[in-house]
């Protein structure tokens, strides 16, 4: 999953939908919520690796959706500093493919590229990465653009406060509500 990786912000258990947050603030909170959900999934499916990658600054058409002034600022910064801070789309794809197929990020059960995939073995000089919970090879990884595993204090804090259970319950409620509304619309 490409999004924020280890980046995130403190979640408010009383406002999980983010109705009282700005879009930028909620983007950071949703990164923490996504990490909590992926951690939960790694416990439910221990033979699968879950990887959440922050790809870095990748120039894509999504920048065209930014407000005009901010878009111009981003383009200017990329034009001036791009050669030092921008990761090309191709490079980002190669890095992501490596992370998704490398023996460095095994599932909780220690399997690599399950489901008949052809794993890339553990490259000499690399070792199995620490998971998002700080446990080596735990099956859920929060990665920075360079493939290095990083911890998140917001993730750790939310897990300690029972935030994972609250986030999972919130997601399940939202999915169930959407399913019911769809059935009502379609008369199923």
Which mean pLDDT values do the consecutive 10-residue runs of the chain (188 residues) have? 64 79 78 87 90 83 81 84 85 87 86 53 82 90 88 82 85 92 87
pLDDT of residue 126: 83
Question: In 3D, which of 176, 175, 170 has the Cα closest to residue 13?
Answer: 170
Question: In 3D, which of 110, 114, 181, 105 has the Cα closest to residue 149?
Answer: 105
Question: In 3D, which of 2, 113, 134 has the Cα closest to residue 47?
Answer: 113
Tokens 């599932």 belong to which residue?
107
Given a contact cutoff of 8 angstroms between Cβ atoms, the answer to whether 30 and 36 are in contact is: no
- Confidence (pTM): 0.77
| C-alpha torsion 158→161→164→165, nearest 10 | -160
């Amino acid at each position: 999953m490409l999004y924020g990786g280890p980046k995130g912000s403190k979640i408010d258990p009383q406002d999980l939908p983010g109705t009282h947050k700005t879009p930028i603030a909620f983007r950071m909170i949703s990164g923490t919520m996504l990490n909590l959900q992926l951690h939960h999934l790694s416990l439910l499916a221990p033979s699968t690796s879950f990887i959440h990658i922050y790809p870095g600054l990748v120039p894509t058409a999504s920048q065209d959706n930014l407000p005009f002034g901010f878009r111009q600022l981003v383009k200017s910064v990329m034009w001036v500093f791009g050669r030092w801070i921008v990761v090309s789309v191709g490079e980002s794809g190669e890095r992501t493919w490596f992370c998704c197929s490398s023996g460095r990020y095994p599932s909780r059960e220690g399997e690599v590229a399950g489901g008949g995939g052809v794993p890339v073995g553990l490259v000499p000089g690399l070792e199995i990465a620490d998971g998002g919970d700080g446990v080596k090879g735990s099956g859920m990884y929060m990665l920075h653009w360079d493939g290095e595993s990083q911890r998140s204090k917001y993730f750790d804090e939310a897990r300690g406060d029972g935030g994972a259970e609250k986030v999972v319950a919130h997601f399940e409620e939202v999915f169930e509500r959407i399913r019911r509304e769809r059935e009502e619309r379609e008369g199923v």
